[in-house]
Amino acid sequence: MTGAAAFYVTTPIYYVNDKPHIGHAYTTLACDVMARFKRLDGFDVHFLTGTDEHGQKVEKSAETAGITPQALADINSANFRELARRLGCSNDDFIRTTEERHHLACQALWNELIRRDEIYLGHYEGWYSVRDEAFYGEDELVSGPGGTRLAPTGAPVEWVKEPSYFFRLSKWQQKLLDWYEANPDAVAPASRLNEVRSFVAGGLQDLSVSRTSFKWGIPVPGDENHIMYVWLDALTNYMTAVGYPDMKGDFARFWPEVIHVVGKDIVRFHAVYWPALLMAAELPPPRRIFAHGWWTNEGQKISKSVGNVIDPLGLIDTYGLDQLRFFLLREVPFGNDGDFSHRAMIGRMNSELANDLGNLAQRVLSMIGKNCGGKVPSPQAERSEDDRVMLSSADGLLAAVRPLIDRQAFNEVLETIWVVIRAANGYVDRQAPWALRKTDPARMETVLYVLAETIRAVATLLHPFMPSSADRMLDQLAIAANSRTFAFLGEAGRLVPGTALPTPQGVFPRFVEETAD
């Protein structure tokens, strides 16, 4: 898209040892909303997701299952690709770290760091967690059952001693602190910035970036006894997908205009190790790393052992895709922890989707169908103060929500839109177009026109969150497919009086729980 500003958004690449769960869905949906919003706002967007397929955990799991690591990766990567499809995601690329393009990118970055003397050969001795794929210092360990030592995440650790290449992370301590200071929005929310700044200020050790005790990974160039540390491999995917090591084309266009969206458990890798590696290679660090919170299930921590892992595909089957997309980004501020509750889900669906929005659209479009011959009403030139306030609220939505999207405040975007939806319902009640039909039919048409315009604005801005439902609403206003971008909001795309409209159909039915007979 020539001339359009670039916008690049990434999910973390999901580890193929996991089964897709609500946390994966949450991250992916947030990125999808940003990508869709920016496309509708005229940006040249690249949206990336994918799978992280190397490491000791995959090797061990494959061995237990009696298959090759590649076979295990193929099976589980397909599950994540299917999750993105079922979530209705608009990702431009799906990367797998077992792809040849990624091997080439990782080895190119390694060679660049070697060339700059940022990597050296030594030996590693210390505590390592296979589950976390992370090294921990003695002071970070916690006590476990029977006096055992555990990682701060609760994962088992083992004492590892082996030859290793090291990245000179310690030398980048001050540069990282300077970067946080100069770019206070680079890590968000603020609590995560404080966390990583405190970690870095406490002192950095050089980082072990290779392993010799297993083989499932990308070989170190020139020393195939070593494979790259899985996090160096994984983080590089964000550059692989835009063409690195080719520094022209997509890489020049999209880097570093990138937002990495991650769970809070992996913020250290993304906000400490990754910018340091990039600085060391004389590449600009990402524009922003946003670390969101975790979900609980009905107030209880989600855990495989408890058996309360939430399957997002099951939620789609039960409640509907757009309903799930709406709920996850409406329920809690992005960045905070949230609780998934079926009662809260049904409450949002019935009060906000069915009652507020669905009822507004259904009754307005039904009145137009019944009282305006099924055509866009013809408004009077003169408008009341109530009309002007209603229309300007709808027209002002884009300017109000743009900065909220830019700071990943999805629930505030939705609340801002819902303020207008609730105002429109109040306007209907005050203006009573059903009564105006008998006393002042021309005035009725003005009121219904203002309401139809409000629905057009609301549906257009809700499109990134609920694409299918928004399209159904816009279909009922006979909006052409190429007139649904933000450029057509307000005066630029006003409904044309007399345009024939289809028979209105309900978009958000109430959810009624099945009861046992």
pLDDT tens, residue by residue, 270-311: 999 999 999 999 999 999 999 999 998 988 888 777 788 889
Q: What whole-number distance in Å separates Cα of residue 350 and Cα of residue 347? A: 5
In angstroms, how far is CA 77 from the centroid of its own chain? 19
- Proportion of the chain above pLDDT 70, given as a percent: 99
What's the per-residue H, E or C state across 421-460? Answer: HHHHHHHHHHHCHHHHHHHCHHHHHHHHHHHHHHHHHHHH
Q: What whole-number distance in Å separates Cα of residue 83 and Cα of residue 312? A: 8
DSSP H/E element including 394:
helix 385-395
Token pair, residue 134, equals: 């992370």
Q: Which residues contact residue 295 at a Cβ distance below 8 angstroms, ignoring those fewer than 6 apart?
A: 22, 23, 26, 302, 310, 337, 338, 339, 340
The answer, yes or no, to whether residue 29 has pLDDT greater than 70, is yes
- Proportion of the chain above pLDDT 90, given as a percent: 89
Nearest to 374 by CA among 500, 492, 283: 500
Nearest to 14 by CA among 64, 37, 48: 48
pLDDT tens, residue by residue, 241-259: 999 999 999 999 999 999 9
- Read out DSSP for 61-124? HHHHHTS-HHHHHHHHHHHHHHHHHHTT---SEEEETTSHHHHHHHHHHHHHHHHTT-EEEEEE
Q: What is the pLDDT of residue 2?
A: 58
Q: What whole-number distance in Å separates Cα of residue 455 and Cα of residue 474? A: 8
Residue type, 437: R
Phi first, then psi, for residue 10 (nearest 5°) are: -130, 145
Q: What is the pLDDT of residue 317?
A: 96
Handedness of CA 177, 182, 186, 190 (dihedral sign): positive
Determine how β-strand 223-228 pairs with β-strand 300-301. unpaired
Taking residues 11-22, report their average pLDDT: 92
DSSP H/E element including 221:
none
Q: Which residues contact residue 76 at a Cβ distance below 8 angstroms, ignoring those fewer than 6 apart?
A: 16, 17, 18, 19, 51
Please report which confidence band the pLDDT of residue 463 belongs to, taking 50, 70 and 90 as the band edges: very high
Please report which confidence band the pLDDT of residue 515 belongs to, taking 50, 70 and 90 as the band edges: low
pTM confidence score: 0.94
SS3 label, residue 236: coil
Q: What whole-number distance in Å separates Cα of residue 202 and Cα of residue 275? A: 17
SS3 label, residue 227: strand
Question: How many other CB atoms are found less than 10 A from the CB of residue 72?
Answer: 21
DSSP-assigned beta bridge partners for residue 371: none
Nearest to 54 by CA among 78, 73, 76: 73
pLDDT tens, residue by residue, 426-442: 999 999 999 999 999 99
Number of domains the chain is built from: 1
**Under a CB-based contact definition with an 8 Å cutoff, are residues 418 and 352 in contact?**
yes
Q: What is the pLDDT of residue 301?
A: 85
DSSP-assigned beta bridge partners for residue 122: 164
Task: Say if 377 falls within a structural domain.
Answer: yes
Choose the weakest-confidence range: 336-340, 366-370, 459-463.
336-340
Phi first, then psi, for residue 352 (nearest 5°) are: -95, -40
Q: In what order do the strands lie in the sheet with 210-211?
A: 210-211, 223-228, 219-220
Task: Say if 201 falls within a structural domain.
Answer: no
Handedness of CA 224, 227, 228, 229 (dihedral sign): negative
Tokens 């307000």 map to which residue?
Answer: 490
Chain length of the chain: 517
Of the chain, the end-to-end C-alpha distance in Å amounts to 58
Task: Say if 274 falls within a structural domain.
Answer: no
Residue type, 112: E
Cα-based torsion angle of the residue sequence 303, 305, 311, 317 in order, rounded to the nearest 10 degrees? -130
**Under a CB-based contact definition with an 8 Å cutoff, are residues 183 and 170 in contact?**
no
Mean pLDDT of the chain: 95
Q: What is the pLDDT of residue 91?
A: 98
Write the CATH number for 381. Answer: 1.10.730.10
Tokens 């921990």 map to which residue?
Answer: 136
Which structural domain, as residue segments, surrounds residue 374?
342-493
Q: In what order do the strands lie in the sheet with 338-340?
A: 300-301, 295-297, 338-340
**Under a CB-based contact definition with an 8 Å cutoff, are residues 453 and 494 in contact?**
yes
303: exposed, middle or buried (C-beta count within 10 Å: 0-12, 13-18, 19+)? exposed
